[in-house]
Amino acid sequence: MQPGEFKKSLRGEVILRNDPRYAEARKLYNGMIDKRPLLIARCVDVADVITAVNFGRDQGLLIAIRGGGHNGPGLGSCDDGLVIDLSMTKSVRVDPDGCGTTWGRSLDSTFPCCDDRFKESIKKW
């Protein structure tokens, strides 16, 4: 699959280096980290994430996963690879007896009305 096909196969956005939005999309919380990914996939659902991971693997690209973008050492990005940006995702599955995740949202904004049992199961992860 070529980058053009990859862009068409995602419900979210794919931002390449020549896109006017690239400079803003690649920014990290820690301004001292200056990584330049080859492309950024802004996934909106699980299908997008699966497609992005498969594309990156098939192309032999280094893959970085960006959740909220607040990782101090800049692990949510990479040089010359694929950043899978989860900030556009809007759903989360919670397993109260196991672990969960908060894709692209802070815990309180993702789960404003959940009881503490659910929030604690997510914090464990």
Q: What is the pLDDT of residue 37?
A: 95
The span from the CA of 37 to the CA of 16, in Å, is: 9
pLDDT digits (tens, 9 = 90+) for 37-87: 999 999 988 889 889 999 999 999 999 998 866 677 777 889 999 999 988
Given a cut of 80, whether residue 106 has pLDDT beyond it is no
Q: Which contacts qualify for 85-91: CB closer than 8 Å, 24 or more apart?
A: 85/25, 85/40, 85/41, 85/42, 85/43, 86/43, 86/49, 87/42, 88/12, 88/13, 88/42, 88/43, 88/44, 89/43, 89/44, 89/45, 89/49, 90/44, 91/45
pTM of the entire predicted model? 0.73
Q: How confident is residue 122, by pLDDT bands cut at 50, 70 and 90? A: very low
Structural domains of the chain sorted by starting position, each given as residue range(s) with its CATH number in brackets: 3-91 (3.30.43.10), 92-125 (no CATH)
